[in-house]
Amino acid sequence: MAEPGGTAPGAFDPRGFDPVGGPRRPGHLKRPGRGPLNGQTLRVRPAQAGDAPAIFALYRAVLEEGQSFLAAPDELGPQSGLGAVERCALIAKTTDEDGLIGAILLREAPLRRLQHSRTVELFVAAGARGSGAGGALLDAALAWARARPELRWLRLSVYADNDAAIGLYSARGFVVEGRRPGFSVEPDGQERDDLLMALDLRAG
């Protein structure tokens, strides 16, 4: 649920990632009979610059739901606030590459003192949720991050009522570091809390 921000330019660093098959520790990439994938295999791969329009379009569609992210669609910057996707994003597609199912961004801060941590943003197309894509993207991101000894933390913020996301992050080892009461105010004036969650990549 991070606010829009920038990412330094550069190439995607392939450590921890098999460019053909996806993450080296694959997790549940195939969920036949569960959800809308109809038994197709899900493929997770690093984003390329050419994937940016599809990622931005999906991000915007998720923002239009108005539920899970802080920004409203009309608050996105000229580059949708996601930065250079080829440097920080993994994407999920079916093997026939037909349409984008989801994406996870591991954004780095432009500050030297924060180079040991990344901020996570994860989103799956509304019609594809519950099929294992979110879990597969997070597993791939964890494999990617664990292959980088310079990284210690993955951090994120999530609305405290976002049960699906909190369930997923908790199942993968993220712990709650704090709660911010009334962190945001909805258009109808209702306040919402968020949780700060983190995963220590060097633990266990």
Ligand X SMILES: CC(C)(COP(=O)(O)OP(=O)(O)OC[C@H]1O[C@@H](n2cnc3c(N)ncnc32)[C@H](O)[C@@H]1OP(=O)(O)O)[C@@H](O)C(=O)NCCC(=O)NCCS
Closest CB to ligand X among 99 and 149? 99
Q: Taking the C-alpha atoms of 157, 162, 165 and 166 in order, what is their torsion angle to the nearest 10 degrees?
A: 70
String marking each residue 100-119 x if it binds ligand X according to CB under 6 A: --------------------
DSSP 36: G
Report d(CA 105, CA 126) in Å as an integer.
18
- 68 binds ligand X per the rule CB under 6 A: yes
- 123 binds ligand X per the rule CB under 6 A: yes
Report d(CA 154, CA 15) in Å as an integer.
17
Give whole-number Cα distances, 182 to 53, 101, 108, 162, in Å: 33, 31, 26, 15
Q: What are the structure tokens assigned to 37, written together? A: 């994938």
Q: Considering the complex, what minimum distance in angstroms separates the CB of residue 62 from ligand X?
A: 5
- 81 binds ligand X per the rule CB under 6 A: no
- 201 binds ligand X per the rule CB under 6 A: no
Q: Considering the complex, what minimum distance in angstroms separates the CB of residue 58 from ligand X?
A: 9
Phi-psi region of 10 (alpha: psi -120 to 50; beta: other; left: phi over 0): left
Q: Considering the complex, what minimum distance in angstroms separates the CB of residue 9 from ligand X?
A: 25
- 22 binds ligand X per the rule CB under 6 A: no
- 162 binds ligand X per the rule CB under 6 A: yes
Asked if residue 128 lies in contact with residue 176, where contact means CB atoms within 8 angstroms, the answer is no
Taking CB under 6 A as the binding criterion, the range among 13-21, 123-131, 140-148, 180-188 that sits at the site for ligand X is 123-131
- 156 binds ligand X per the rule CB under 6 A: yes
From 18, 40, 13, select the one nearest 151 (Cα to Cα). Answer: 13
> At residue 16, what is the residue type?
G
Taking CB under 6 A as the binding criterion, the range among 6-14, 51-59, 74-82, 166-174 that sits at the site for ligand X is 166-174
- 1 binds ligand X per the rule CB under 6 A: yes
Residue numbers at the binding site for ligand X (CB under 6 A): 1, 62, 68, 122-124, 129-135, 156, 158, 162-165, 167-168, 171
